Structure 1
Amino acid sequence: MSVEGRTIVIAGATSAAGLAVAEALIAAGAQVVATGRSAERLESLAAAGAETEMSDATDLADMMALAERLGAVDGVIPLVGGWRGGGGLAGQSDHDFTTLLPALHAVRATSRAFEAALKQSDAGRFAVVSSTAVGRPLAGGANYAAVKAATEAWTRAVAQGFAKAARDGGEPLRAASVVFRAKGALDTDALARAVAALWDRDATELNDQLIALG
């Protein structure tokens, strides 16, 4: 298998990570659809060769509409993110927690909207970015670790859904849902390489895996 010729959605792509992933996928021959809420911030992605869509990755209705417009899709990578922390438990404000929640909302919305398309692909891939903080949460990063833990739980549920659908249909597993775990600051180049490599391995090897970045 190869990523060449595949259609991949990067949802919430207007970050440095989104651009790095888009460039790596395009260089490998994939068709990239990059979403964002700012036309100005989407310009660099369009310049890199991505098809751009003004769409909110955290909004299920927006993602459902995009899924309907696109039809066949082989990969979905939600990249809405951010970090808030510090101050021990007393410093874990409700505002900070609310600020972090869009990342989880994007994972939920994109997986629900594109689930059918990924199951229909001969190599559907869904991948999220998490953190090693989930494995060793600290008081000063409790908000962040809690949202990342929820993101991992949802993504693993997507993996179980893929496996169950294949098993119930008496078909080989073709779709995989995986978690990338970053240690510290996200290495965008490492993420880009890891995303492009998702189509180099069989779904049975990838589904429900935690993959360390870097």
Structure 2
Amino acid sequence: MTSTVSGTARPVATHVLVTGGSGASGIAVAGALASAGHRVSTVGSDQARIAAAAEKAGDGVTPYTCDLAVLDQVRKLRDEIAAASGPVDAVIHLVGGWRGAKGIADQSDDDWDFLERGAVTTLRNVSRVFFDDIAASASGRFAMVSSTALDKPAAAVASYVAAKAAAEAWTMAMADGFRRAAETGGGNAAATVLVVKALVDDELRRAHPERKFPGATDVADLAAAVVRLFGTPSAELNGARLRLAD
């Protein structure tokens, strides 16, 4: 199911975990959620960076440090967050990465390992550990960011699109899991894929004034779309592939 994200919505306040919180998109999303009245936990792999990012995101954002590619660390993260702030209702998964090549023959194992770890393993770990908490919530949400490159995969980005496709498939399987949980007395959760061509922020624009970034989604617009997820009925979101790109 593919649709577009538009309009405004009044979010239901909830506890949201933002992964990949050290980057520009993580800071923007965490800040927007906190401004909308949500309790926000944000996580990154570097303690100093995630602390600085949480401070930049603003009041109401609590930083945590974890390597999300290590399952035991994710389990400890869940315990730590639950002890401090209670169970999470939602996860906005912003961990990924990008690698490209010239074609099929030079797709390297190092690049594949990097992309699989960032785009797939982290998502698998986070979803397995936090699935039950999200599924039990009346406003449960899981969202990942994917790419328009999957619409027409190119040889130069074969590893990248394959990893993103795997992450999307896993997220759609989560949507089925949430649907089944709701049918057996669970909450009202939804798993959603947010699709962009690329993400851009003010720092990137300053670093490359010669570039126009056609079709790119500003991280502020991504953040606004994430906030709208909490004011949109689960039935409209679960299993949806929402296109943010122009």
TM-score (norm 2): 0.81
After superposition, where does 1:105-184 map in structure 2 within 5 Å?
105-169=121-185, 174-184=188-198
Q: By how many angstroms is 1:27 displaced?
A: 1.0
Count matched residues: 212
Distance 2:133 2:53 in 1: 23
SS at match of 2:230: helix
Q: Does the CA contact (< 8 Å) of 2:27 and 2:54 recur in 1?
A: no
**Structure 1 residue aligned with 2:223:** 192
**Structure 1 residue aligned with 2:77:** 66
Q: Does the CA contact (< 8 Å) of 1:12 and 1:57 recur in 2?
A: no
State whether structure 2 residue 27 is matched by structure 1 residue 33. no
Q: Deviations over 1:165-214 (max 9, x none)?
A: 21233x6x610000011113453122111111111111111100000114
Q: Does the CA contact (< 8 Å) of 1:58 and 1:103 recur in 2?
A: no
After superposition, where does 1:31-110 map in structure 2 within 5 Å?
31-47=39-55, 48-49=58-59, 50-69=61-80, 70=82, 71-101=86-116, 102-110=118-126
Distance 2:10 2:89 in 1: 11
Q: Does the CA contact (< 8 Å) of 1:57 and 1:78 recur in 2?
A: no
In terms of mean alpha carbon deviation, does 57-66 or 104-113 score higher?
57-66
TM-score (norm 1): 0.93
Q: Does the CA contact (< 8 Å) of 1:3 and 1:28 recur in 2?
A: yes
SS at match of 2:43: strand
In terms of mean alpha carbon deviation, does 87-96 or 42-51 score higher?
42-51
Return the letter of the residue paired with 1:176.
A
Distance 1:82 1:73 in 2: 25
Unaligned runs of 5+ in 2: 1-8, 201-216
State whether structure 2 residue 9 is matched by structure 1 residue 9. no
SS at match of 2:176: helix
Distance 1:137 1:3 in 2: 35
Unaligned runs of 5+ in 1: none
Q: Deviations over 1:51-90 (max 9, x none)?
A: 0111122222222222233142111012111110130112
SS at match of 1:91: coil
| Alignment root-mean-square deviation, CA | 1.7
Distance 2:94 2:232 in 1: 22
Return the letter of the residue paired with 1:62.
Q
Q: Deviations over 1:154-175 (max 9, x none)?
A: 0000000010121233x6x610
In terms of mean alpha carbon deviation, does 176-185 or 59-68 score higher?
59-68
